[in-house]
Amino acid sequence: MRFDQLTFTRFIAAMAVLVFHFGRSAGMLSLPYFGRLLEYANSLLSFFFVLTGFVMIISIARFGEMPKKIPAKLFWLNRFFRIYPLHILALALTIFLQLMVERVNPAANIPPLTPTKVLLSTFLLHAWYPPYALIYNYVSWTLCVEVMLTLLAPALYGWMVRQSTPVLMRNIAIIWLGSIGIHYGCLRAGMPIDWGFYFPVFHLPEFIVGMGGGWLIVRHFEALKATAWRVYLTSYVLGVLMLVMMLFSDSFAFKNSILFAPAFTVILLGACLSDNWLMRLFKTRPLRYLGEISYGLFILQVPISIVMFYFLYFVVTLPYKIVCVLFLIVLIAVSAAVYEWMEKPIRNFIKAQFRKKMAQMPAAEPVTVKATA
C-alpha cells in the first residue's frame, strides 16, 4: 500500500526540529502561546518514531495481505544501510568542524574528543548512556532509537501478525498505558526528565502504537474509509488536546511525548483516508521530494550549522536572520545532493532486494475472532 501524502510529513517534522534548535531567540520565546509551543517543540519528535512504525506496516502489505514474517536479516540490512552511511558522514563532518572551531578559537565550548565517546557515537550507542546522549552530532540520539526499533521490528511484527485486530489494539493500549505509568514512576523516583526523553527504551511504545495504526489501515481500510468522518473528528480533538497540554500543562507530564503517540497515529490515519486539496498538495512531486531528503535535512543540520552560524554569524558577523535563511538554503541543497549521490543509489538497491524477498514470503492466514455462545 502507498500513501504518498505521508512523505511530506517527514519534512514538516524535520522543519519543526530546526525551528526548535535555531529559532528559539528571546524575542520568539516571548511571543504569547507560540513561544511556549516553540520551547517544547522537541516533544514532537515522537512523530518520527510513530511514523516509522506506521509506514513499516503499510509498506510491506501486498494487496491488503501481510506476510507471515519479515525476513529479519534483509530487513536489518535495508534499515542499517538507510541509517548508517549518512550518520557516519554527518558525525565525521561534525567532529572535523568542531576541531576547526577549537583551532580558531581555543576558548570555544567544544566537547572533548575521546575514543570512548567516538566509538559510542559511531555505533549509535551513546543515547544508552544519558550523559553522552548529546555528544558531537547531538541530533543522532534519535538514530540510537531507530537502531533499537530496527532490531526489534521483526519480532514485534511476528507477535502482531498472529493477533486479531481487537486483541492487538487492546494489547497495544496496555503497553501504552503501562509505559506512561513506568515513565511517570521513574520521574517521581528522581530520574532527570531529559533522561526519559533521550533514553531509547522510552520511545518503543511510540513505535508500537504507530505499528498498530498501520495494521488498522491494512486490515480495515474500506471500513475506515466508510466512516472517515469519525477518524477526522478524533484527530482534530486529539490534536487540540495535544496543543492544550503543551500550552498549559507542566512539561513534566509530556516531555518524553509517549502521551502524544495516539494523537499522531490518528492524524496519520486521517491523512491516509483523506483526499482533500491539502493531501493532494502533499502528493505533488516537489513536496514529496522534500520529504525524501528530510533525513539528510535532519542529520546534517549540526555540521552545516557549525559552518553557517559560527563562521558567518560570529566571524563574518552577518545578521542572525540572514544567516538563518542562508543556513536553510544550504542545508536543503546539501541534503538533496547527498540524497541523489549517496542515499538514493543505496536505498534503491537494498529496497529491490527486500521487495524480491518479501514477494516470495507466504501470506499470513486471516486472523478471525472466535465466536462465543
CA distance 88 to 118: 11
* Pick from 176-180, 310-314, 326-330: least confident: 310-314
Instruction: Name the more confident of 217 and 189.
Output: 217
* Closest by CA position to 146, among listed 52, 55, 258: 52
Q: How many angstroms separate the first and last alpha carbons of the chain?
A: 37
* Closest by CA position to 155, among listed 208, 209, 119: 208
DSSP secondary structure letters along 294-307: HHHHHHTHHHHHII
Question: Is 111 a residue whose pLDDT tops 90?
Answer: no
CA distance 144 to 251: 23
Sign of the Cα pseudo-torsion (137, 138, 142, 146, in order): positive
Dmax over CA atoms of the chain, in Å, equals 79
Torsions phi, psi for 49 (to 5 deg): -75, -35
pLDDT number for residue 165: 93
Residues 6 or more apart from 86 whose CB is under 8 A from it?
295, 296, 299, 300, 338, 342, 343
pLDDT number for residue 314: 66
Q: Kindly report, residue by residue over 118-159, the tens digit of the pLDDT.
A: 999 999 999 998 888 888 898 999 999 999 999 999 999 999
CA distance 47 to 322: 30
CA distance 19 to 14: 9
CA distance 237 to 230: 11
CA distance 164 to 364: 12
One-letter amino acid at 178 equals G
pLDDT number for residue 10: 92
Q: Which residues of 54-77 are buried (b: 16+ CB within 10 A; e: fewer)?
A: bbbbbebbeeeebbeebbeebbbe
CA distance 101 to 111: 11
Q: Mean pLDDT in the chain?
A: 85
CA distance 198 to 126: 10
In this prediction, what percent of the chain has a pLDDT beyond 70?
87
Question: Is 365 a residue whose pLDDT tops 70?
Answer: no
pLDDT number for residue 285: 94
Question: Is 256 a residue whose pLDDT tops 80?
Answer: no
pLDDT number for residue 372: 42
Read off the pLDDT of each residue in 48-62 and give the average, rounded to a whole number: 90
Instruction: Name the more confident of 79 and 197.
Output: 79
pTM of full prediction above 0.85:
yes
Domain ranges of the chain: 4-358
pLDDT number for residue 355: 66
CA distance 59 to 242: 28
∠ CA 42-249-19, nearest 5°, is: 25
pLDDT number for residue 220: 92
pLDDT band at 64 (very low <50, low <70, confident <90, very high): low
Question: Is 257 a residue whose pLDDT tops 90?
Answer: no
Q: Kindly report, residue by residue over 264-307, the tens digit of the pLDDT.
A: 999 999 999 998 899 999 999 999 999 999 999 999 999 999 88
Question: Is 94 a residue whose pLDDT tops 80?
Answer: yes
Residues 6 or more apart from 258 whose CB is under 8 A from it?
46, 176, 179, 180, 183, 202, 203, 205, 206
pLDDT number for residue 371: 43
Instruction: Name the more confident of 70 and 282.
Output: 282
* Pick from 302-306, 308-312, 359-363: least confident: 359-363
DSSP secondary structure letters along 205-235: HHHHHHHHHHHHHHHHHHHHHHTHHHHHHHH
Question: Is 61 a residue whose pLDDT tops 90?
Answer: no
32 CB neighbour count, 10 Å cutoff: 7
17 CB neighbour count, 10 Å cutoff: 21
Q: Kindly report, residue by residue over 313-359, the tens digit of the pLDDT.
A: 666 677 777 888 888 999 999 999 999 998 888 878 777 766 666 65
- Hey, what's the cell of 245? 497540554
Cβ-contact 308, 93 below 8 angstroms: no
Q: Kindly report, residue by residue over 23-48, the tens digit of the pLDDT.
A: 766 556 666 777 777 777 777 788 89
* Pick from 57-66, 171-180, 279-288: least confident: 57-66
pLDDT band at 363 (very low <50, low <70, confident <90, very high): low
